[in-house]
Structure 1
Amino acid sequence: MKAFFGLMVSIGLLALLGTGFEINRPVEDISFQKNKKPNIVIIIADQWNAQSVGYAGNADVKTPNLDKLAARSVIFKNAVSVMPVCSPARASLLTGQYPLTHGVFYNDRPLRNKALTMAEIYKEAGYATGFIGKWHVNGQQNFEKQFSARNRPVPKDRRQGFDYWKAREVTHDYNNSFYFDENDVRHDWSGYDVFPQTDSAISFIDKNKAKPFLLVLAWGPPHDPYATAPEEYRKLYQPEKLTLRPNIPDSLKAKARKDLAGYYAHCTALDKSVGDLLTALKKAGVEENTILIFTSDHGDMLYSQGKMRKQKPWDESLLVPLIVHYPAGLGVKKRELTLPFSNIDILPTLLGLNDLKIPAAIEGTNYAAILSGKDQPTGEEAALIQLPVPFHENNFLNGGKEYRAIRTKQYTYVRDLNGPWLLYDNVKDPYQLTNRIGTSEYAAVQAKLEKVLVTKLAEAKDQFLTADTYMSHWKYKYDGKDSLRLH
């Protein structure tokens, strides 16, 4: 199947969309060619929510490099995680598919080799491919101990098309971190791992700047533990001076301020690395012809709604930052888009910007024409969110439950197996303080959103069944007490 789609990609390769202008470009820079395929750099952080960046209006967090980048890029105000938890979101980014299609709807389950992935498509199109950092889509098999795959090498045939390789399945010990190279040899990252990982990314760019490349740089922070950023960044934040969201209960505000200070310290450290990478792209002479994407796999509740971390259907968990920077194809004027953009839409949109044929296996939407300004959003776009199985810290015993949701530019509508659960008007109620389910004022809105959800479920071939049904179908075993329900 992969060979077939690779052939189709090669056949479908067309001329590059937009050639851009040569601005202040040294005459001796021979790495830039007028019609060269655009490079692609994807920076993906872990658990960075949409509101924790300066350009989104947050006056507390210090993200000067991202703010400068956003001022010259397309930014999405409603970028959505298709399933707001690590492995499913990452597998969806790589495949452009829903979690119930590729099968990674539960953390630490392996993405199957038959999946057609981003790196395989671009490799067939002549790109050098590289992956650095957190992988998290090659989990343990059913017969193995829970989390047993997290500290061992990812075999070559499980790297989904990436050749340059400095990765580890999972770690959250950012100051004592190691990785495996292409030959499965273990190496240590020196110090706070984000910094040497970014240095490796810069090295990859320098070595491949004369030919098109795809690079994914996957950082572990700002995922908890929150208090482990370098001291110089932790010193920047005093908990008592931080502004909290009004949907955080009074009883949790002290904890929220403490954790938020550490979370922001991680964000600022990562922002420093964004600046380093941008400088390297400019120095290499490839910034103009590089599609740079900055995003995250999912957000973090950080005590909003009295909740922690992810898998939740509220915006703090669902929404992520998303910047698309591509001077040659999109210019350098800031543009804000409010349409809901899922991480399953990233791959088809990249292929659209590349003028590469989009394989039929991809379920996301190609929004390249909207990014370029050729088309305008209809205002009716909706992103589907799936949570087929609640697990680990969000398991049934902790109140987790199966749900499906849609996010439009204005509304969030959520159903669980018992029926309609949540409805928020995010324009009038940005902190989602009032659930409108069953109210007469929003009866027509609820009916319309229900129809949209039914349509999206049909498109995704999602029957919205019980967690046990999906676990049985995919022959997965629950970890620990995840399968126990409260009755």
Structure 2
Amino acid sequence: MKKKTTNRFYQHLLFFCLIGIALSCKEKETASQERARPNVLVVLTDQWRAQATGYAGDPNISTPHLDRLAAESVNFKNAVSGMPVCSPFRASLLTGQRPLTHGVFMNDVQLDTNAVTLAKVFNKAGYDTGYIGKWHLDGHGRLQNVAPGKRRQGFQFWKGNECTHNYNHSVYYDNDDPERKIWEGYDTFGQTDAAIEYISERKPSKNPFMIILSYGTPHAPYHTAPEEYRRRFDPEKIQLRDNVPDSLKARARKDLAGYYAHIAAIDDMIGKIIANLKESGQYENTLILFTSDHGDLLGSHGAYKKQQPYEEAARVPMLFRIPESLKIAPGERNALMNSEDLMPTLLGLCDIAIPNTVEGINYRPYMEGKEEIGDATLLTCVQPFGQWNKVQHGGREYRALKTRQYTYARDLEGPWLLFDNQKDPYQLNNLVGNEAYADLQEELDRQLTARLKETGDEFLPGMTYIEKWGYPVDETGTVPYTH
């Protein structure tokens, strides 16, 4: 009897041990799956036009680190900034919504602190989230602290500023510390080091990370990169685009030399980040998105900076370096990915449910070859008073349809621009009113009308939207660029 009892005891003990081992294995498997979720690094630049990289064929600049990244990435070579201005793009990146939905259709206004944002969704999915660098979504005045809490839109770690372009005396705030700090030296370097430190500290964590590293460069002022980079570019040797008028050529060459110096510095920093990811063993499981909030005309079409529907302002670099485990082949893609598509695509690549507030497209199925989408997209300008979209420079309020071949824009008076971007890559020949293209113009106008109806855009005068959102208007009848 005693022997039978002893046997039963050991049988029960073995049974419970097996259960314990099974549960332990399950826990380890679950933890392993959590760790297998990719880290996400978003490298966001300011005013970097799509044409200005080595891999895009710019004869003036060498970007070896970006070129290597591009060779490993899905390259959306036709990607656009749907409203080519800083704050609208950033709000669309964080919300997956178009500007007339989230309300940030101009600079220096605040994104609704109750918005469903990228950081909030990643937090809920168990990620650590961080933000470093230029924010430009708070609307409480430049150089001011974006106070901890709801105004940081869900980001847990913070080393940022609302907006500054003084790259050698650059303000930032460190997490919960209310004291204003200054990045030491050229801020692109300091921000890079801060991102590397953040990533390194996450390695022991069981949680994956999602961090946005937001550089202020290569946005003007163009001539403030470290001297070692400025020495590389002789204005006299800069090759201009064919659409820069004679009156601006000398200025454009000088400014482009400085612009490329900023780009060369960022390229080195991207190389530094990737080297650290590889050394720490985190590179293979890190999804890297490299992009910009808009481009820069830099003399093209007789204008500077952004906001207009031309290629130099509206097209942006867009690289997705995707871990091999997702089995998505690198290479160029033709789809016209837009600003609001970034949030759903990042979530889709991380197997995180996409909120129903999102208006953009999840491009993961397209990358996997399961869908054919992105044959056309919208470009929008609401501001009737744009600081760069000046009437004297040909600027105006517009809605535009961009396809893989054409750009067609309508202003408040009717058809404005029509370019065949394949035959006329510098957009020198406006085909609006050309009888030979009348049928094409009519068809593109019909498609634009359909897109506006689909997105609920009535294309009203800009001040109507200003009044709708309650933005302040000063004594001159315009919305102040800064408050």
Q: What's the TM-score once normalised by structure 2's chain length?
A: 0.88
1:151 Cα deviation (Å)? 2.8
- Give the counterpart of 1:274 among 270, 275, 284: 270
- Give the counterpart of 1:201 among 195, 202, 206: 195
- Give the counterpart of 2:379 among 367, 380, 385: 385
1:152 Cα deviation (Å)? 3.2
- Give the counterpart of 1:477 among 455, 472, 476: 472
Task: Please say if residues 392 and 482 of structure 1, whose CA atoms lie closer than 8 Å, have aligned partners that are also in contact.
Answer: no
| Structure 2 counterpart SS, 1:269 | helix
Give per-residue Cα distances to partners, 1:272-303, cap 9 Å, x unaligned: 11001111111221211111000000000000
- Give the counterpart of 2:238 among 235, 242, 258: 242
Equivalents in 2 of 1:327, 1:152: separation in Å?
Answer: 36
- Give the counterpart of 2:179 among 182, 185, 192: 185
Equivalents in 2 of 1:281, 1:442: separation in Å?
Answer: 51
Who is 2:25 aligned against?
none
1:393 Cα deviation (Å)? 3.5
Task: Please say if residues 54 and 67 of structure 1, whose CA atoms lie closer than 8 Å, have aligned partners that are also in contact.
Answer: yes
5+ long unaligned stretches in structure 1: 1-30, 141-147
Task: Please say if residues 397 and 482 of structure 1, whose CA atoms lie closer than 8 Å, have aligned partners that are also in contact.
Answer: no
239 and 292 in structure 1: CA distance in 2 versus 1, 3 angstrom threshold: same
Who is 1:229 aligned against?
225
Give per-residue Cα distances to partners, 1:2-29, cap 9 Å, x unaligned: xxxxxxxxxxxxxxxxxxxxxxxxxxxx
| Structure 1 counterpart SS, 2:309 | coil
Equivalents in 2 of 1:295, 1:332: separation in Å?
Answer: 19
Who is 1:285 aligned against?
281
Who is 1:454 aligned against?
449
Who is 2:72 aligned against?
72
Equivalents in 1 of 2:240, 2:94: separation in Å?
Answer: 34
Who is 1:408 aligned against?
403
Give the alignment's Cα RMSD to 1 decimal.
1.9
478 and 299 in structure 1: CA distance in 2 versus 1, 3 angstrom threshold: farther
Give per-residue Cα distances to partners, 1:412-459, cap 9 Å, x unaligned: 110100011001110111110101112222222222211221222122
Equivalents in 1 of 2:474, 2:164: separation in Å?
Answer: 18
| Structure 1 counterpart SS, 2:306 | coil
Who is 2:6 aligned against?
none
1:383 Cα deviation (Å)? 1.2
Task: Please say if residues 330 and 371 of structure 1, whose CA atoms lie closer than 8 Å, have aligned partners that are also in contact.
Answer: no
Who is 2:112 aligned against?
112
1:481 Cα deviation (Å)? 4.9
1:40 Cα deviation (Å)? 0.7
Task: Please say if residues 303 and 393 of structure 2, whose CA atoms lie closer than 8 Å, have aligned partners that are also in contact.
Answer: no
Q: How does 1:204-223 map to 2 (within 5 A)?
A: 204-209=198-203, 210=205, 211-223=207-219
Who is 1:354 aligned against?
350
Task: Please say if residues 388 and 402 of structure 1, whose CA atoms lie closer than 8 Å, have aligned partners that are also in contact.
Answer: yes
1:405 Cα deviation (Å)? 0.8
Q: How does 1:92-111 map to 2 (within 5 A)?
A: 92-111=92-111
What letter corresponds to residue 306 of structure 2 in structure 1?
K
Who is 1:48 aligned against?
48
Task: Please say if residues 91 and 99 of structure 2, whose CA atoms lie closer than 8 Å, have aligned partners that are also in contact.
Answer: yes
Alignment size in residue pairs: 445
What letter corresponds to residue 349 of structure 1 in structure 2?
T
478 and 337 in structure 1: CA distance in 2 versus 1, 3 angstrom threshold: farther
Equivalents in 1 of 2:173, 2:59: separation in Å?
Answer: 39
1:179 Cα deviation (Å)? 0.5
What letter corresponds to residue 156 of structure 2 in structure 1?
D
User: Which of 1 and 2 has greater Rg?
Assistant: 2
Give per-residue Cα distances to partners, 1:457-482, cap 9 Å, x unaligned: 12221110001111111111246857
What letter corresponds to residue 365 of structure 1 in structure 2?
I
What letter corresponds to residue 474 of structure 1 in structure 2?
W
| Structure 1 counterpart SS, 2:55 | helix
1:381 Cα deviation (Å)? 1.8
What letter corresponds to residue 256 of structure 1 in structure 2?
A
184-193 vs 105-114, which deviates more? 184-193
Who is 1:3 aligned against?
none
| Structure 2 counterpart SS, 1:162 | coil
1:34 Cα deviation (Å)? 8.9
Equivalents in 1 of 2:319, 2:435: separation in Å?
Answer: 38
Q: Does 1:300 align with 2:296?
A: yes
158 and 383 in structure 1: CA distance in 2 versus 1, 3 angstrom threshold: same
5+ long unaligned stretches in structure 2: 1-30
- Give the counterpart of 2:145 among 132, 144, 152: 152
1:186 Cα deviation (Å)? 2.2
Equivalents in 2 of 1:59, 1:482: separation in Å?
Answer: 44
Give per-residue Cα distances to partners, 1:68-103, cap 9 Å, x unaligned: 111111111111001101111110111111111000
315 and 366 in structure 1: CA distance in 2 versus 1, 3 angstrom threshold: same
202 and 35 in structure 1: CA distance in 2 versus 1, 3 angstrom threshold: closer
| Structure 2 counterpart SS, 1:423 | strand
Who is 2:429 aligned against?
434
199 and 353 in structure 1: CA distance in 2 versus 1, 3 angstrom threshold: same
Who is 2:259 aligned against?
263
185-194 vs 261-270, which deviates more? 185-194
Give per-residue Cα distances to partners, 1:206-250, cap 9 Å, x unaligned: 111342111000000100000000000000000111111000011
More helix by share: 2
199 and 33 in structure 1: CA distance in 2 versus 1, 3 angstrom threshold: farther
455-464 vs 87-96, which deviates more? 455-464
Equivalents in 2 of 1:478, 1:394: separation in Å?
Answer: 18
Task: Please say if residues 421 and 437 of structure 1, whose CA atoms lie closer than 8 Å, have aligned partners that are also in contact.
Answer: yes
Who is 1:342 aligned against?
338
450 and 330 in structure 1: CA distance in 2 versus 1, 3 angstrom threshold: farther
Task: Please say if residues 392 and 479 of structure 1, whose CA atoms lie closer than 8 Å, have aligned partners that are also in contact.
Answer: no
Equivalents in 1 of 2:132, 2:321: separation in Å?
Answer: 20
Equivalents in 2 of 1:325, 1:480: separation in Å?
Answer: 49
58 and 136 in structure 1: CA distance in 2 versus 1, 3 angstrom threshold: same
